[in-house]
Amino acid sequence: MNGTTAAEAIPLPPRTRDRRFPPLIPLAIVAALVLCALLAPVLAPHSPLEGSLGERLAPPIGLEGSKPGHLLGTDRHGRDTLSRLLHGARISLAVSVIGITLTGAAGSFIGLLAGFLGGWVDTLLMRLADISLSLPGILIAVLLSVVFEPSFTNVIIVVVFLLWPSYARLTRGETLGLKQQEFVALARVAGCSSTLIMFRHILPNLAPSILVLATLHVGYVIVLEAALSFLGVGIPPPTPSWGVMVADGRGLIEQAWWVSILPGIAILITVLSLNILGDWVRDRLDPKLRQV
Amino acid sequence: MQRYIIGRVVQSIVSMFVVSMIVFALVRLSGDPIQIMMPAEATKADIELMRAHLGLDRPWAVQYWRFLTQALQGDFGKSVRFRRPALDLVTERYGATLELGGLAVLIVIALALPIGVYSAVRRGSALDYAARIFAAFGQAVPPFWLGLVLVLIFGVLLHWLPTSGRGTPWHVLLPGITLGWFAVAGLMRLTRSSMLDVLGSEYVKLARIKGLPEHRVIWRHAFKNAALPVVTFAALLFVALLNGSIIVETVFGWPGLGLLVIEAVDSRDYPIVQTVVLFLSAMYIGVNLLVDILYAYLNPKIRYSQS
């Protein structure tokens, strides 16, 4: 890649220069979050699904009327907010990991095919991408939830539906360039089949860009899941998705603000950290994508 | 150019067909609408009669054709819940959604453009720094949650503004701000980077050398040229707001299309859901098409690279 030589030739403003190290605070927050998600059953002080009605709507510790043992208070069923937040991190993590892996794989495969094969395959697949981009995502989610019950699978379908065209377009463009390179011609001379060239020789070269796009999408997917769940067309209650928690507290905003405000803060901090990290990964791996 | 436009129009029509097929297929997949429409004490014969009356005993292709031709004539079926034509309900609620979206667009443009321009001109200043932090937060705050925070602050704690429904001009403020918030951040970033590009150019230097007053250099010479990407974004913004309005209307009980469709989901009112989805998709696809055509007119580079 000529990224390094270009960076040496042009003097960069100081802000860009110390980007060798990841931003530490966001990194720590994301790492802590992943740990919380993985260890939620161990860390959570209470069950995320069962509450005791005697301890309903207890405020967080430090406020008047708080109950010992419920650090961040309880909701209207007496369920512990902290425990639900920890388990909610699992949902966010699961949706983003599964959703982005599936989309990245499907979208990149389609883009690779379109770019490598060209011709009518290319035209057809890219038209499909255009059409997919021209459909409004939230409405598709609404439709899906009327037809099938709201579920984890629906959220994943919507994520795949909304994001696959970006991967397909990205990998198609890069494949078009890579296809012209000498190592592809040499591989062909050496007797490699098209399939082998695509997956052995071209795909590894696409990996950095795919990875960058995937990191940039994590925050988006977490907000999307929360929004769908909030609307009642995503993860169904009582599963402790952060979006479900915000929706639960909607009617209680006057008596018990913490029920909906705290999960929102969790989303905000998570997404902010992920976006900062995503920008860093992009600048490190692929400055060309800065406009994405 | 003409070929590009025709191509885009054809593609939009195909998109609309795809939407109509998805809507049709999904709604038919969801089970028997008769079960929902008929009272529990209906006899088998009644049900069969109703099925034949609605044409639900015919093959799918026939049903789809009927659905399509009726839709093109403005007949989208009757709401199960309100027992009124779905299209009437949609047109009634449409104004509220437009009002909300219009205010949001105003807020976005009034805030994002000046702040974006000034943070580019005064790069590195406290204002630039504050604006960038705001933009980073703006893109991380989930809109449905921001709405609740605003309700808490301005409704519950300060009692300044109404938090639900539609009536006085005050009612539209909180939902409008919530809807616009996300886009303010995006447009501000775009304006800033676009202005930074232009401010470094030769003709801006020339304008300065000529001794023009600074505000003239910024607004006449720089901003006008920075506006091309901004114009397209502002149009795309409208589309994003359409999606966002579903969330915001739910939070604030704003009686627009978004709330209508979410309520229809709860009561499994298929005709309403399918009408709103078709209606909003048509707007979405139509605005996208207009933006692309506008952009092709404004930017010759696109015109030639696409053909």
User: Is A134 close to B12, i.e. CB distance below 8 A?
Assistant: yes
Q: pLDDT at residue B121 above 50?
A: yes
Tokens representing A185? 């011609």
Q: pLDDT at residue B141 above 50?
A: yes
Separation in Å, CA of B155 to nearest CA in chain A: 9
Separation in Å, CA of B269 to nearest CA in chain A: 9
User: Is B149 close to A243, i.e. CB distance below 8 A?
Assistant: no
How far, CA to CA in Å, does B269 sit from each of A142, B45, B86, B255, B264? Answer: 12, 24, 10, 17, 5
Give the nearest partner residue to B148 out of A227, A231, A253, using CB atoms. A253
Q: pLDDT at residue B30 above 70?
A: no
- Give per-residue burial for B11-50: e unless 16+ CB within 10 Å, then b: bbeebbebbbebbbebbbebeebeeeeeeeeeeeeeeeee
Q: In this predicted structure, what is the pLDDT of residue B305? A: 54
Q: How many CB atoms lie within 10 A of CB A50?
A: 12
Q: In this predicted structure, what is the pLDDT of residue B307? A: 41
User: Is B281 close to A243, i.e. CB distance below 8 A?
Assistant: no
Partner A contacted by B229 (CB < 8 A)? no
Q: Which residue's entry shows tokens 């029920």?
A: A259
Q: Which residues pair with A74 in a beta bridge?
A: A80
Q: What is the mean predicted confidence (pLDDT) over B169-192? A: 82
Separation in Å, CA of A196 to nearest CA in chain B: 32
- Give per-residue burial for B130-167: e unless 16+ CB within 10 Å, then b: ebeebbebbbbbbbbbbbbbbbbebbeeeeebbbeebe
Chain A interface, mutation test: which of B9, B21, B145, B242, most A Cβ atoms within 10 Å?
Answer: B145
Q: How many CB pairs under 8 A join A and B?
A: 139
Residue A50 carries which side chain, given as an amino acid letter?
E
Residues 6+ apart with CB under 8 A from A199: none
Partner B contacted by A210 (CB < 8 A)? no
ipTM, two decimals, is: 0.77
Q: How many CB atoms lie within 10 A of CB B223?
A: 21
User: Are A266 and A242 spatial neighbours (Cβ–Cβ below 8 Å)?
Assistant: yes
**Per-residue pLDDT tens for B40-71?**
677 777 777 777 776 677 777 888 888 888 88
Give the nearest partner residue to A145 out of B14, B27, B265, using CB atoms. B265
Q: In this predicted structure, what is the pLDDT of residue A105? A: 94
Q: In this predicted structure, what is the pLDDT of residue A168? A: 92
Q: What is the mean predicted confidence (pLDDT) over B10-32? A: 79
Q: How many CB atoms lie within 10 A of CB B1?
A: 14
- Angle (nearest 5°) at CA B143 between B137 and B147: 110
How far, CA to CA in Å, does A37 sit from each of A32, A84, A90, A234, B35? Answer: 9, 11, 4, 19, 42
User: Is A246 close to B142, i.e. CB distance below 8 A?
Assistant: yes
User: Are A73 and A263 spatial neighbours (Cβ–Cβ below 8 Å)?
Assistant: no
Q: How many CA atoms lie within 13 A of A164 on its CB side?
A: 23
Give the nearest partner residue to B140 out of A143, A257, A275, using CB atoms. A275
What's the rounded Cα separation, in Å, for the pair A251 and B253? 12
User: Are B234 and B219 spatial neighbours (Cβ–Cβ below 8 Å)?
Assistant: no
What's the rounded Cα separation, in Å, for the pair A115 and A24? 38
What's the rounded Cα separation, in Å, for the pair A112 and A195? 11
- Give per-residue burial for A179-206: e unless 16+ CB within 10 Å, then b: beeeebeebeeeeeeeeebbeebbbebb
Q: How many CA atoms lie within 13 A of A175 on its CB side?
A: 26
Q: In this predicted structure, what is the pLDDT of residue A221? A: 92
User: Is A131 close to B141, i.e. CB distance below 8 A?
Assistant: no
Find the residue in B nearest to A253 (Cα).
B152
Q: How many CA atoms lie within 13 A of A1 on its CB side?
A: 12
Please state the separation of Cα B97 from the chain's center in Å: 9
Give the nearest partner residue to B246 out of A231, A257, A263, using CB atoms. A231
Q: What is the mean predicted confidence (pLDDT) over B120-134? A: 84
Give the nearest partner residue to B144 out of A135, A139, A230, using CB atoms. A230
User: Are B109 and B234 spatial neighbours (Cβ–Cβ below 8 Å)?
Assistant: yes
- Angle (nearest 5°) at CA A27 between A290 and B132: 50
pLDDT mean across residues, chain B: 80
Q: Which residue's entry shows tokens 């705050």?
A: B141
- A252 CB-contact burial (10 Å; exposed 0-12 / middle 13-18 / buried 19+): middle
Give one word for A163, left, alpha or beta, with left for phi > 0 and alpha for psi -120 to 50. alpha
Residues 6+ apart with CB under 8 A from A16: A283
Partner A contacted by B202 (CB < 8 A)? no
Find the residue in A nearest to B7 (Cα).
A127
How do the pLDDT tens digits run along chain A, 292 residues long? 344 444 344 444 545 445 677 788 889 999 999 998 898 888 878 888 887 777 777 788 777 777 777 778 888 888 888 889 999 999 999 999 999 999 999 999 999 999 998 888 988 888 888 778 767 777 778 778 777 778 898 899 889 988 999 999 889 988 988 888 888 889 888 888 888 888 888 899 898 889 888 988 898 899 889 988 988 888 888 888 998 998 888 888 888 888 888 999 999 999 999 988 888 888 787 656 554 4
Q: pLDDT at residue B206 above 50?
A: yes
Strands (E), chain A: none
From the CA atom positions of chain A, what is the Rg in Å? 23
Please state the separation of Cα B301 from the chain's center in Å: 27
Q: Which residues pair with A80 in a beta bridge?
A: A74
**Per-residue pLDDT tens for B266-295?**
777 778 888 888 888 888 788 878 877 877
Q: What percent of chain B is modeled with pLDDT above 90?
A: 0
Q: Which residues pair with B78 in a beta bridge?
A: B85
Partner A contacted by B282 (CB < 8 A)? no
Find the residue in B nearest to A242 (Cα).
B145
What's the rounded Cα separation, in Å, for the pair A144 and A205? 36
Partner A contacted by B265 (CB < 8 A)? yes
User: Is B277 close to A276, i.e. CB distance below 8 A?
Assistant: no
Find the residue in B nearest to A256 (Cα).
B152
Q: In this predicted structure, what is the pLDDT of residue B37? A: 64
Give the nearest partner residue to B148 out of A136, A142, A250, using CB atoms. A250
User: Are A209 and A171 spatial neighbours (Cβ–Cβ below 8 Å)?
Assistant: yes
Separation in Å, CA of B274 to nearest CA in chain A: 8
User: Are A241 and A92 spatial neighbours (Cβ–Cβ below 8 Å)?
Assistant: yes
Q: Which residue has the higher pLDDT, B79 or A28?
A: A28
Give the nearest partner residue to A260 out of B148, B265, B284, using CB atoms. B148
Q: Which residues pair with B85 in a beta bridge?
A: B78
Partner A contacted by B70 (CB < 8 A)? no
Strands (E), chain B: none
What's the rounded Cα separation, in Å, for the pair A81 and A89? 12
Q: A277-281, B134-138, B186-190, B236-240 — which is least confidently predicted? A: B236-240
